[in-house]
Amino acid sequence: MSWSDKLKDTKKQLKALNGAIPDTTAGFGAIGKSVKKDGALGFKEKEYVALGIAVATRCEPCIMFHTEALIRLGATREEVSEVLATCVQMGGGPGLMYAGKALEVFDELSDD
């Protein structure tokens, strides 16, 4: 299954979850909305941090969502690659494996 298909499936799952537990997902959404505001860091920089955490925690859906956001924000492959290099440095072998997944997601989603 392609990363684009996985992303579509995950969005469908989240829509169903939103219907089942709307108060909980609204609360989570409020946290996300508050973080997106520019402060000492801009939203793009915060998304780089989020991608790094997604790789470190091995969360493929998180990798997809934060990569998609970074593409919308104009991130380049080189910028994402530097974030992923830091993930490898901090996470060793597991960081290397999930960094590879994240770069593959970037490549596929940026071609859409």
With a cut of 80, say whether residue 112 has pLDDT above it: no
* pLDDT (tens digit per residue) in 17-65: 999 999 999 999 999 999 989 999 999 999 999 999 999 999 999 999 9
Q: How many Å apart are CA 59 and CA 84, to the nearest integer?
A: 14
The residue-averaged pLDDT of 78-106 equals: 93
Q: What is the CATH number of the domain that holds 64?
A: 1.20.1290.10
List CB contacts of 43: < 8 A, sequence separation 6 or more: 36, 37, 73
So what's the pLDDT on residue 103? 95
Q: How far is CA 6 from the centre of its chain?
A: 13
**Residue numbers of the domain that contains 81:** 3-110
Query: For the chain, how many structural domains are there in total?
Result: 1
- pTM for the full predicted model: 0.86
So what's the pLDDT on residue 80? 97
Asked whether the CA dihedral 21, 24, 28, 34 is positive or negative, the reply is positive
What is the H or E stretch that residue 41 is in? none
